[in-house]
Amino acid sequence: MADPYNREKELQKKLNLFLTNNLDLPDKDYYSNLNAGDFLQLKSVLSDINNILTLKVTLSFARWAANHFNFNPQLKDTILTKIINTKPNANGYDIEISAPVKFIAEVKCNIPIKKGTTYGSAQRLGINKDIAALINGKNKSAIKPYEYYKFMVFLDNPEVKKATEHFVSNMKKNKNKVVFAADVSSITNTDNVYIVYAKI
What pLDDT does 129 receive? 95
Q: What is the pTM of this model?
A: 0.85
Kindly report the average pLDDT of the chain as a whole number: 92
Residue range 111-158, pLDDT digits in tens: 898 678 899 999 999 999 999 999 999 987 889 999 999 999 999 999
Strand ranges across the sheet with 95-97: 95-97, 103-108, 149-155, 193-198, 178-180
Domain boundaries, the chain: 7-46, 49-198
What pLDDT does 142 receive? 86
What pLDDT does 50 receive? 85
Q: Quick one: what percent of the chain has pLDDT higher than 70?
A: 98
What pLDDT does 89 receive? 65
What pLDDT does 87 receive? 79
Judged by DSSP in three states, 82 sits in helix
Average pLDDT of span 41-49 = 86
Q: Which ranges in the chain belong to alpha helices (H)?
A: 7-22, 30-33, 36-46, 49-68, 73-84, 121-136, 158-169
Residue range 18-34, pLDDT digits in tens: 999 998 899 999 999 99
Q: Quick one: what percent of the chain has pLDDT higher than 90?
A: 76
- Flag whether pLDDT at 1 surpasses 80: no
Average pLDDT of span 42-50 = 85
| Peptide bond between residue 100 and the one before it cis (omega within 30 degrees of 0) | yes
How far is residue 43's CA from residue 120's CA, in Å, rounded to a whole number?
A: 24
What pLDDT does 139 receive? 83
